[in-house]
Structure 1
Amino acid sequence: MISSNWSRSILGIKFIPRRYQHGYIILVPEIGEESDAKKPLVKSDGLPEFNNVTIENCRAAVAKESLEFEAGVKSIEKDLQDKPPKDIFKQVFNPLEVLGAPLDLIWGLSKTLYLGNSSLMPTSNYISIHERARQARASKYNNKTIYNAVRDALQTKTDKTVEETRILQKFLIEGKLNGLELEDKNFTIFAEYMATLSKEKSSFKLKNEISTKRFSHVIGDKAIVNDFPDYVLKSASLNPHLPEKGPWKLTLQPHIYRAVLECCPERKIRWNFWQAMVNRGYHHGDRELSTSLTVEEIRFARRDIAKLLGFENFAEMSMQTKMASSVSEVKNVINTLLEEAYPAQENEVKELYEFAASRGFEHEQLELWDVDYWKKQQQKFLYVHSDDDVKAYFPLKSVMNGLFEFCEKMFNIKIKERPKTTVWHKDVKFYDIFEDYSSAPIAGFYFDPYARDQQKIDSSGWMVAIQNKSEICSKIPLGALIFNFDPPTSGRDSCLTFKETKNLFKKFGHNLQHLLTRVKYSEVAGLSNVEWDAVDVCGNVFGHWLENKTVVDKISSHYETGESLPNEMFESLMQSEKQLAGVDLCHEMYLASLDLELHSSKDFWADIVKKLWPNYRCFKLHSNDVHTCSFTRIFVEEWAAAYYSHLWSRMIAADIYSAFYEVRDNEQKTLEIGKRFRNSFLSLGGSVHPGQVFREFRGRDPSPKALLRSLGLKRK
């Protein structure tokens, strides 16, 4: 998604600071040929003209719109200096909506093309477009004059809607976290800290990339890779014409590494891959690739930035853009979950060891490189289904028809395919969304379902917010859902695994939050301005609907017989979804706690790991396990002091779904709650704090009990 979450410049995105009176140093990409720039990218009906979307005209259009946006921000700044605003929304925010709409649309088109057909939009080209658009868009949050006007408007006792107040608060927090409250001397120091942070993050990323690429293991014995998925063997084969023959070069790429740990029967090979993965960034024989000191430099820089901005530490600063009110609140939730999850983890590991021992495992205990393999073996033994068995019941066409029917009834909408729209591939379809009482669509989305060799990035799926809703600009929201499902084969439609079906539901829920928003300003529409730990809530709620047999019956239809998923297979699926839930939850809570502690404590990272590990994990911490040194999600990506957000979103979603579960046998009450869910979480976007939205929906503060129940971990 390309929504505008708060303060990404500080909490995760590269920042190129200069004295705030003069804005940003702008790096302008090369502008394409004028003829390319003049090609229309939007048709008269408001939909993108994908036939004309190319690298050249995307770059040209982004360069043009970025310059115009920055010039517009400067013009607003001059107007504010000449004449203090009587109505800040008419003088500042309405013009910003008009200025930003074309830039955001071109940015969204570029990302859609990149994810939908990377051969037409290679990574290097998209990154330059993304960086240019991001820098331009950030200029409105880094303007001292606009910031002062926003601060004054918040302090002035005038009538403001909840949405307007939220927008003002957003700009105020953005400005504060970007240093706009600092005097010249401290702002210069702030800029130096930011430059150091950017440099160290780049170093961390490069070293980990080199370490990851250096490791490989060639296997020639077909028996070792017998259970590996076909797509893994195809991507790893040294003979692309005979991928089933081998040999295979296995690497630490996520999908290959995961297959090795789950499917490789040779324990020594699993151990070799595991130790290579957890030892990245801590090379005894190659100090140049060590990230141990880089980790500390990143932590020091973030700590200095937080202190300069008036916060106790970086974790406290991170909470300014979260639904959770404080670090202590997050820790309280984790501790509550841990009370149930840790004993469950111990019992699960004990039972898994007994299962492995009964099948020839001769070692004293299970290690981390054993768990995934024996989990898969146990799953085959315990449950009455295989992935192929289940897959036959979920043809993509049936799943989509059932999903549409479910959403139409639950949220009082109509979803209709619009033929003859221009798309980036013949398999892509476009759908309009209508209200029952509307003659014109209120939103629309593209659906690109199938994997295409050399065209799509390897991923479980994407939701792209192409265009945000804006009443000021008379724009309806547009989105895109892009997946890598198996394409149809002769005589058989594309069929989904249960995991793929669940992921489709999650992405569709995410998509509806973008599409069904009812707010006025794009600044807080859909997923824009939603706190990071609440961004995945709606998607996770939709994932829970697959725990409902009525919904599963609606979407399942055996590709040969037309039968819905049998009860026995459904119950087996529900049980397999909970397998080793305690182990998985403890691992996730450990990483979340590690992240928060790294960004609030001054202790050396290795000492923090040693302190936390036994509280969460019932496995031995090995001396060569230095996973912190390759924790790129918090040191390079946007999840510093925010890794807990995944867990928090799951907790909130489980609690929301429990409202439906409580009335599951009463269709009328279910529809009433569905209406309430649409009018709150799906409609309000980022215009209201999610804590308030939850309290209005549920009538109380959130509780972790529903998450524990959904995982089968609640003992009481």
Structure 2
Amino acid sequence: MALSFCRRQICINKTLLQPKRYQHGYIILVPEIGEDLPEKKTIFQNNRTVEQRLQSKLWISEAGVKAIEDVITKKTCDDIFKEVFQPLEKVGTPLDMTWGLSKTLYLGNSTLMPTSSYMSIHDRARRARASKFNNKAIYQAVKSELESDREKNSEEMRILQKFAVEAKLNGLNLNSNDQVLLTEYLKKLNNERTIFKQKNEISTKQFSHIIKDSSIVKEFPDILLKSLSVDSNHPLNGPWRITLSPHVYMPVMKYCPDREIRWNIWQALVSRGSTQRDRDLVTSVNLEEIRFVRNDIAKLLGYNCYADMSMETKMAGSLSKVQSVLHNLLENAKPAQEDELKNFAVDRGFSYENLELWDIPYWRRKQQKSELDYTEDSFKEYFPLPKVLTGLFQLCEKLLNVVIKQRHNVSTWHKDVKFYDVFESHSSAPVAGFYFDPYERSEEKVRFQGHGWMVGIQNQSRITNTKPLAALIFNFEPPVGEKQSHLTFNEVKSLFHKFGHAMQHLLTRTNYSEVAGLSNVEWDAVEISGHVFSHWLYNKNVIDSISCHCHSEDTLPEQKFETLLKIGKHMAGLDLCRELYLSALDLELHTSKDFWLDIVKRLWPKYRCFNLHKIDSHPCSFTQIFTEEWGAAYYSHIWSRMIAADVYSAFHEVQGDEQQVIDVGKRFRDTFLAFGGSVHPSKTFREFRGRDPSPKALLSSLGLKNRSNNKPI
């Protein structure tokens, strides 16, 4: 009965979007993609409707999992895909889609999905979506199927392995006493993570620095001054409030000429959670508790340490392999940390003994402007958003054999949001679609570090006949009057990266949503496609296709293109060493039992060329690994860049031969984009490249000398 009821709930709308306004909200209908959705259904009307609809989908999903459990408990499971995985697809699809739209609204229009509403349902939705992995009956059916000699294709095997690994990590193979202990550990871990996060948020918000002297901000861009202004009606007149918000901190460090102010901001950032600040907000004890509880969980589940447990869901596969790559990259990056930046600063009046970490962003920007003739504004005038989008779509058409077209008359959460259909070049019906929400709206949009997000709203599933749907949400400067929106080069990179990320979600060819697109892709491989797209910005033909001067309409001149190549390599050794240090720190914190400060003192001189200051307690605010999901996984950022550079080098090797470039594009489409999570990324890479990956291409792209024998990994 419950399962039958759930199946009747699966069908979601088929109609084109139709805007309908209500007194207390806004109705959004999911667009038809192809011929997949036979019923019209409204998705959102107002905040209460959002929560009510999501609660309904939560109940349907959980009831559906229970119904499947009842069926396979009463009789032997003869065909796990027909009796378990296909019904799971059907009961989970409405929840996944509704949750994807909830996240989209939260990021795109927080007046329709306020933070309080979103956070109140976040954990509840996460638990409901994971309930299928925490079900003993389903786990037993999976184990039996894995032990059977029935033939399985790659996609089916990956689904079985996914459920088996998730069950293991959830402790389903533990005895009852150990399961109780695991539950206690998880409660303690969640509590410590929550406290760590809350203390950091309070500590971050407590700091502010007021600047009243207009001479200090004379080089600040107007858009930065507006975001700092105490009086929003007169943003250029001051005073200006400096905070530790990510979108404020780094721009201020780049433009502030006053070293004492830079030091004050820097020390406030790196001392969060330490005894140097409010003692009620010290996180050292919480940090250690998180480490030790994670280690206890790992040992309970049969691993040597938490870092070893993390490797279960990573492309790298082993801690030793990751450490080998980090060491290889460090050998090449560390000698490049020492550059001419200090000499440049001294020649321009810097009178202190050493450049310190709070000096680097400022003098780096000054050197880029003086010696490389690079400023963000001088390049921004070459990248109008419509032109960039046109060139990006053309690149996709050439490499991926798809056509991207805007669909009009689609209701969205804001008038600036557009909807695009994605077609195979030979098809008349779209195979996927995405929303594009480009502009900053300070009163509506949530703003975190970085320029934007890609949200997978709906996964590909041939079982439920649903097509992929995504949202690309950015905070670009909006157009003013007839003046188009123009992007900085960093914003162009962000757009290309997120778009490449979206292509893997949208162009998957799997049958099951469990392994479609980015689902079930190992953590250290998730960003590969995004980074591959970013590499194309260092191809002159692509730059010509996306650039157009705001007055002359000329493409980016050759000299400026060469500047972009140099900027991409400027101080690359220092940047890479920082990321290598944080990656090594994360792994060591989750491997060693030593006190965190002793680990920092041991690793710092191996990776950094700066003094470690007593006030610097950066692990106490390392939220990415202690409150987010990057514990023992921070290295994934470097790993995915390394793999992506090697993937792009396949295009670079055949540059100049148009047909060979198209052939490599087809191979990329047929492997990395088509397979999604249905094939292990190591196998995907070998099928694409014909060998195992190497760090050589990443080092070359960063302009770092290859000082070691970079054999395939």
Query: If the length of structure 2 is used for normalisation, what is the TM-score?
Result: 0.93
Q: Report the Cα distance in structure 1 between the residues aligned to 2:508 and 2:222, rounded to whole angstroms.
A: 41
Q: Report the Cα distance in structure 1 between the residues aligned to 2:574 and 2:446, rounded to whole angstroms.
A: 30
Structure 1 equivalent of residue 567 of structure 2: 576
Q: Report the Cα distance in structure 1 between the residues aligned to 2:496 and 2:335, rounded to whole angstroms.
A: 31
Structure 2 equivalent of residue 498 of structure 1: 489
Structure 2 equivalent of residue 89 of structure 1: 81
Match of 1:292 among 281, 284, 290: 284
Q: Report the Cα distance in structure 1 between the residues aligned to 2:66 and 2:43, rounded to whole angstroms.
A: 34
Match of 1:200 among 180, 187, 192: 192
Q: Give the partner amino acid of 1:315.
A: A
CA displacement at 1:44 relative to structure 2: 6.6
Q: Report the Cα distance in structure 2 between the residues aligned to 1:89 and 1:39, rounded to whole angstroms.
A: 36
Is the Cα contact below 8 Å between 1:100 and 1:137 reproduced in 2? yes
Is the Cα contact below 8 Å between 2:583 and 2:635 reproduced in 1? yes
Structure 1 equivalent of residue 455 of structure 2: 464
Structure 1 equivalent of residue 691 of structure 2: 700
Structure 2 equivalent of residue 25 of structure 1: none
The residue correspondences of 1:25-64 to structure 2 (distance < 5 A) are 41-42=29-30, 46=37, 52-64=44-56
Residue 534 (1) aligns with residue 516 (2): no
The residue correspondences of 1:59-78 to structure 2 (distance < 5 A) are 59-78=51-70
CA displacement at 1:40 relative to structure 2: 8.2
Structure 2 equivalent of residue 432 of structure 1: 421
Structure 1 equivalent of residue 438 of structure 2: 449
Structure 1 equivalent of residue 551 of structure 2: 560
Identify which range, 275-284 or 668-677, moves more after superposition. Answer: 275-284
Q: Report the Cα distance in structure 2 between the residues aligned to 1:407 and 1:40, rounded to whole angstroms.
A: 29
Q: Deviation digits for residues 647-696 of structure 1, max 9, x if unmatched?
A: 00000000000010011111111100000000000110000110110011
Q: Give the partner amino acid of 1:224.
A: I
Structure 2 equivalent of residue 370 of structure 1: 359
Q: Give the partner amino acid of 1:559.
A: C
Structure 1 equivalent of residue 221 of structure 2: 229
Structure 2 equivalent of residue 19 of structure 1: none
Is the Cα contact below 8 Å between 2:356 and 2:610 reproduced in 1? yes
Match of 1:448, SS? strand
Gaps of 5+ in 2: 1-22, 708-713
Q: Deviation digits for residues 464-505 of structure 1, max 9, x if unmatched?
A: 111000000000001111111111123321111111111111
Is the Cα contact below 8 Å between 1:170 and 1:529 reproduced in 2? yes
Is the Cα contact below 8 Å between 2:26 and 2:45 reproduced in 1? no
Residue 215 (1) aligns with residue 207 (2): yes
Q: Give the partner amino acid of 2:331.
A: E
Match of 2:435, SS? strand
Q: Deviation digits for residues 316-359 of structure 1, max 9, x if unmatched?
A: 0000000002111011111111111000012x2xx111000000
CA displacement at 1:252 relative to structure 2: 1.0
Q: Report the Cα distance in structure 1 between the residues aligned to 2:51 and 2:109, rounded to whole angstroms.
A: 16
Q: Report the Cα distance in structure 2 between the residues aligned to 1:360 and 1:646, rounded to whole angstroms.
A: 37
Query: If the length of structure 1 is used for normalisation, what is the TM-score?
Result: 0.93
Structure 2 equivalent of residue 189 of structure 1: 181
- Does the C-alpha gap of structure 1 residues 385 and 277 become closer, same or farther in structure 2, counting only changes over 3 Å? closer
- Does the C-alpha gap of structure 1 residues 659 and 378 become closer, same or farther in structure 2, counting only changes over 3 Å? same
Q: Give the partner amino acid of 2:97.
A: L
Q: Report the Cα distance in structure 2 between the residues aligned to 1:589 and 1:48, rounded to whole angstroms.
A: 51
Match of 2:246 among 254, 260, 268: 254
CA displacement at 1:290 relative to structure 2: 1.0
Q: Deviation digits for residues 210-260 of structure 1, max 9, x if unmatched?
A: 211111111100111122233332222221111111111211111221122
Is the Cα contact below 8 Å between 1:39 and 1:57 reproduced in 2? no
Is the Cα contact below 8 Å between 2:25 and 2:47 reproduced in 1? no
Is the Cα contact below 8 Å between 2:28 and 2:43 reproduced in 1? no
Match of 2:138 among 119, 132, 146: 146
Q: Give the partner amino acid of 2:110.
A: S
Match of 2:358, SS? helix
Structure 2 equivalent of residue 267 of structure 1: 259
Residue 614 (1) aligns with residue 629 (2): no
Residue 423 (1) aligns with residue 412 (2): yes
Q: Report the Cα distance in structure 2 between the residues aligned to 1:394 and 1:42, rounded to whole angstroms.
A: 31
Residue 133 (1) aligns with residue 122 (2): no
Match of 2:456, SS? strand
Q: Give the partner amino acid of 2:296.
A: D
Identify which range, 282-291 or 159-168, moves more after superposition. Answer: 282-291
Gaps of 5+ in 1: 1-34
- Does the C-alpha gap of structure 1 residues 188 and 36 become closer, same or farther in structure 2, counting only changes over 3 Å? farther
Structure 2 equivalent of residue 685 of structure 1: 676
Identify which range, 278-287 or 688-697, moves more after superposition. Answer: 278-287
- Does the C-alpha gap of structure 1 residues 419 and 604 become closer, same or farther in structure 2, counting only changes over 3 Å? same
Match of 2:422, SS? strand
Q: Report the Cα distance in structure 2 between the residues aligned to 1:138 and 1:405, rounded to whole angstroms.
A: 39
Residue 647 (1) aligns with residue 638 (2): yes
Residue 278 (1) aligns with residue 278 (2): no
Q: Deviation digits for residues 578-612 of structure 1, max 9, x if unmatched?
A: 11100000000000000000000011100000000
Match of 2:308, SS? helix
Is the Cα contact below 8 Å between 2:25 and 2:112 reproduced in 1? no
Match of 1:484, SS? strand
Q: Deviation digits for residues 160-185 of structure 1, max 9, x if unmatched?
A: 11000000000000000011011110
Structure 2 equivalent of residue 28 of structure 1: none
Q: Give the partner amino acid of 2:557.
A: P
Q: Report the Cα distance in structure 1 between the residues aligned to 2:507 and 2:578, rounded to whole angstroms.
A: 35
CA displacement at 1:48 relative to structure 2: 9.1
Structure 2 equivalent of residue 517 of structure 1: 508
Q: Report the Cα distance in structure 2 between the residues aligned to 1:38 and 1:343, rounded to whole angstroms.
A: 57
